[in-house]
Amino acid sequence: MPNLPKSIKVLAFLLFLFAFSASATFASTSYYSSFSRFLPSYLLKRLESKLGERPRISWPAETPQMPTTKLLPTAAPTGVPVFPTVTPQPTAAPLGDYKKEYIMNAINEYRRSRGLSEVKTDPYTCSFAKERAREISVNFNHDGFSQRVANKSLPYPGYSLITENIAMTSDYKRVVELWINSKGHAENMQKDTPFVCVESYGNYYAYEGWRP
């Protein structure tokens, strides 16, 4: 190489390196960008004057594509529901509290009219009344009660007097009226059984009275 100033020789050497590594665009750009940090500023200016402005990499901005919400048109009402209406089947359930309260109040009102003390519910009579209400929905008679008396399998810890009334009606407000108008049932409601409970299963009602 002829006698040239040292700075020109360095510049020529750098040009050689740049030309050699220019085969891969991204690699050459990144190499040039990192290598240029070690060059004196005056050499960078002379190099850029020969090569033009330094290439710069701009990473693409990633704009997330949000899904476009489309509303389906609503169908005009036709009078026929889209989904079939499920009609709940009637299920026999224990007597609602409001029904029990109504019937027990009616029983005590009847007893007061006869000068008798009021009766109250308890777990033994209510449990037995629920069981009997289910039974009389299949066999509407007193057989289940009588058999327990005969077999000594009544669900009481002991008793000195027990009574039972049964009724079948779709109107719970008529239950006590039906019993009042029947001599034997009315007599049971007048008996000295301090614990009484009435439960139902569907349209079937069972009255259980107990005196320990």
Which one-letter amino acid corresponds to residue 2? P
CB 168 within 8 A of CB 101: no
pLDDT tens-digit readout, 67-117:
322 222 322 222 222 223 333 333 344 456 889 999 999 999 999 999 999
Three-class SS state of 70: coil
d(CA 100, CA 107) in angstroms, rounded, equals 10
d(CA 47, CA 55) in angstroms, rounded, equals 13
pLDDT tens-digit readout, 16-52:
554 444 433 233 233 344 444 444 555 545 555 555 5
d(CA 170, CA 102) in angstroms, rounded, equals 15
Is it the case that residue 12 has pLDDT exceeding 50?
yes
Three-class SS state of 149: helix
Give the torsion sign (CA, 185, 189, 194, 199).
positive
CATH (residue range 118-211):
3.40.33.10
**What pTM was computed for the model?**
0.56
d(CA 184, CA 207) in angstroms, rounded, equals 13
d(CA 101, CA 19) in angstroms, rounded, equals 102
Per-residue pLDDT band for 11 (boundaries 50, 70, 90) equals low
pLDDT tens-digit readout, 115-173:
999 999 999 999 999 999 999 999 999 999 999 999 999 999 999 999 999 999 999 99
- Kindly report the three-state secondary structure assignment for every residue of 82-140: CCCCCCCCCCCCCCCHHHHHHHHHHHHHHHHHCCCCCCECCHHHHHHHHHHHHHHCCCC
d(CA 117, CA 113) in angstroms, rounded, equals 10
